[in-house]
Amino acid sequence: MFKNSDPILLIDEQKVKKNLKRMHEKVLKSGAHFRPHFKTHQSLQIGKLFQEEGIKSITVSSMGMAEYFGGYWDDITIAFPFNILQLDRLNTLLEKQFVHIMVDSPELVDALLGKVDMYCGVWIEIETGNKRTGIDPNRIDEIRAMVEKISNDPYLEFTGFYSHPGHSYTRKGKEAVLSVFNETVSIMNKLKSQFDIEGIQVNVGDTPSSSHTDSFEGVDSVSCGNFIFYDMMQVNIESCKAEDVAVCLTAPVVSISRERKEIAVLAGGIHLSKEKMELNGQPFFGSVVLLEENHWGEPLQDCYIKSISQEHGVIKASDELLERVKIGDVLGVLPVHSCMTADCMGKYYDFEGNVIDHFSMRARDRD
């Protein structure tokens, strides 16, 4: 099976189930609502595992993804400032599916007023330090006006405030990550306290914080997503251990340079993406593992993808690996960013070589 001539993305379903159960139990214990983000796996079949856990609300990152999952969930949040050019698609989706959209400016709210034909939830995204999208929580007069306009529209329903504190990805270790989480929860609840609206919610969602925290006190709903697979970035942040990483790219060996102590594999940017980290001052695109019949091993010491191009991946190899490997072998790579790798590959395989699920978000979004 591992002699497959092209790279494939293996999935360890037992690890997936373990990661899901651990996170779901933590959310339930805190009395919060779970809205897991599906941009990591993008799979109906993996989505069924969430349904088996009793999860009824999900989060996605695009209209195409919402359409793909539409009809299977009580509600779907599109966690991206709403693209007003997709208004017709939203109204069509609302005919079969309750949807939450996201706004982060008065201009976007104004563009929506009177344009939505069926009931639609609305989150206001709050910028709490990630500096990507979201409105500054100190712009309280603008936020009040946004809430009032949303509430007065016949089909828009104000749900609450949403934040993705993605700057947690720049931290390492429990104490550093939780400082971001605690600050975010404090900002969001201070904002919430200024509105006398029954049922208003605070939503927070990032995997480092969700993995490190022992309690979601002060959070009404949680929308982390990467936790389902994890990856080497999360290992580096110490959100998980390498044994929790649930996906692995197979990488056929095509060239060996024993002089440079390098191994070239068919595993490039079109497979792994070009997401990278720095470890000990060196670029790092993924950990190397050995593939067994029904699992992969722990990351090999002093072995990692050091550079990447469209098709090529170049492994910095240890003496032990160089002695063991030959052209035609297949190694495994634990990706830096599992969300991007899954999106690149478009389908998953089990250890017997069977396709678990096939998806193509980018193709759907282009249609």
- Averaged pLDDT for residues 265-285: 96
- Averaged pLDDT for residues 111-123: 98
Sign of CA dihedral 11, 17, 22, 26: positive
Q: Are strands 57-60 and 201-204 parallel, antiparallel or unpaired?
A: unpaired
Give percent above pLDDT 70 in the chain: 97
Query: Going by C-beta distance under 8 Å and a sequence separation of 6 or more, which residues neighbour residue 10?
Result: 247, 248, 249, 250, 291, 296, 332, 348, 349, 350, 351
The domain 31-229: what is its CATH number? 3.20.20.10
List pLDDT tens digits, range 196-215: 999 999 999 999 999 999 99
268: phi then psi, degrees, rounded to nearest 5: -110, -155
Domain boundaries, the chain: 31-229, 241-361
8 Å CB contact between 64 and 364: yes
List pLDDT tens digits, range 39-81: 999 999 999 999 999 999 999 999 999 999 999 999 999 999 9
276: phi then psi, degrees, rounded to nearest 5: -145, 165
What does pTM read for this prediction?
0.96
Sheet architecture: strand order including 120-125: 33-34, 221-222, 201-204, 156-163, 120-125, 98-103, 75-81, 57-60
Please tell me if the domain spanning 31-229 has the same topology as the one spanning 241-361.
Answer: no
Sign of CA dihedral 299, 297, 39, 174: negative
Any bridge partners for residue 162, and if so which?
125, 203
List pLDDT tens digits, range 212-234: 999 999 999 999 999 999 999 99
Q: Closest Cα partner for 263 from 341, 318, 334, 337?
A: 318
- The pLDDT of residue 309 is 98
- Averaged pLDDT for residues 83-94: 98
Distance CA(23)–CA(116), nearest Å, equals 35
Q: Which fold has domain 241-361?
A: Lyase, Ornithine Decarboxylase; Chain A, domain 1 (2.40.37)
* pLDDT-derived band at 302, boundaries 50, 70, 90: very high
Q: Residue 175: count other Cβ atoms within 10 Å of its Cβ.
A: 9
Q: Provide the mean pLDDT of the chain.
A: 95
Exposure string of 316-353, with b = 16+ CB inside 10 Å and e = fewer, is: bbbeebbeebeeebbbbbbbbbbbbbbbbbeebbebee
Q: Are strands 98-103 and 75-81 parallel, antiparallel or unpaired?
A: parallel
* pLDDT-derived band at 280, boundaries 50, 70, 90: confident
The answer, yes or no, to whether residue 364 has pLDDT greater than 60, is no
Packing angle of the helix pair 44-52, 13-29 (nearest 10 deg): 40
List pLDDT tens digits, range 313-361: 999 999 999 999 999 999 999 999 999 999 999 999 999 989 988 776 6
The answer, yes or no, to whether residue 363 has pLDDT greater than 60, is no
From start to end of 185-329, where are the E strands?
A: 201-204, 221-222, 247-257, 262-266, 277-279, 282-284, 286-289, 304-308, 312-316
**DSSP-based three-state secondary structure for 30:** coil
